[in-house]
Amino acid sequence: MNNRSIIHVDMDAFYASVEERDNPSLKGKPIIVGGSLKNRGVVTTASYEARKYGVHSAMAIYKAKKLCPEGIFLPVNMAKYKEVSIEVHNIFKRYSRIIEPISIDEAFIDVTGKNPFFIAKNIKRDIKNELNLTASIGISVNKFLAKLASDLEKPDGFTVIRQEEAMEFLKPLPIRKLWGVGPKTEKELNRMGIYTIGDLQDYDIKVLVDRFGKKGRELSYFSKGIDNRPVEIDITTQSIGEEETFKEDISNVEILDHKLKEYSLNLSHKLELKGYLTKTITVKIKYEDFSTETRSSTLYIPTDDYLAIYNVSSSLLKNKFSFDKKVRLLGLTVSNFIYPNDPIQLSFHTK
């Protein structure tokens, strides 16, 4: 185990909360942010009041309307959310230089050597006082436990998982709470008799490695509260990406396209915070039969603009993939980074 102090900050129902803040008449009402009711859009974020009706992100708008007929449906205002997100991250920078943005509304902050409880309370206070928003915060010795902690008492939560209590804390939780366990992996683990994290703690790691490879070792470590990954602040030599394994295989291209828009916003935000532009955009699809395809474009002009990233990825999705099989996983990656003042070599390549 390491002796790090890691904070995970997760804004509560971010898009919906920003809309409620900017229009107080919406307070306490079921807000659903996403595509228009006139087309086949999907939900981006739902307020906690809307979630009580079963509405969740990536759900088709028409279905959300059926579940929550009194819902207030609002269009996505990406520019506004991005601006607020920058304000949130500026608050983080007061307390640490080691910050890893995960998406537009969450981040890891390494405060090793400082008082994590004091810093976390200050972050919550600053976000509330200055931005009139709430965040749920988790504190622990590593990224996995900190992220898990932030999810346990939403909204406006503050949860600490101490190193010495991690094993017992994790034991009764369902196996799907482990980082990296999606619906398919959960079913495979269930077939092995593993239903709780405690079941996995007691399982022979050799069997897990034989079954899942490197991921089996990682899952075993996570089940014991072990996660040695550092908070990443340098993206110059790597790619950054967003991907998701869906609860159910998807055949609707519109839903996939909506997910790319969400990923594009998150990746644009990460690039902007680091001060880099990307030249190469890659879309990855894993089909229901586990076959995988990737398609990439290298841009004439490097960018950190979310619409540019989205437009390229959407074009790749719609023109470079065949959808005769359902989609199990969708991913979007940006790479080939430069500084804005680097010399630019113009090129374009699609494969």
Q: Is 130 an annotated catalytic residue?
A: no
What is the spatial distance between Cα 195 and Cα 22, in angstroms, rounded to a whole number?
43
- 207-246 confidence digits (pLDDT tens): 999 988 888 999 999 999 999 999 987 555 578 899 888 8
Provide the edge-to-edge strand list for the sheet that holds 158-160.
99-103, 106-110, 6-11, 135-140, 158-160
Cβ 184 vs Cβ 328: under 8 Å: yes
* Segment 269-278 mean pLDDT: 82
DSSP 59: -
DSSP 230: P
Asked if residue 10 belongs to a known ligand binding site, the reply is yes
Residue in 106, 242, 262, 272 annotated catalytic: 106
Strands in 96-145 per DSSP E = 99-103, 106-110, 135-140
Domains of the chain, start order: 6-11+79-163 (3.30.70.270), 15-78 (3.40.1170.60), 166-223 (1.10.150.20), 240-350 (3.30.1490.100)
pLDDT of residue 349: 43
Asked if residue 105 belongs to a known ligand binding site, the reply is yes
What is the spatial distance between Cα 295 and Cα 225, in angstroms, rounded to a whole number?
36
- 53-111 confidence digits (pLDDT tens): 999 988 888 899 999 999 999 998 988 998 999 899 999 999 999 999 888 899 999 99
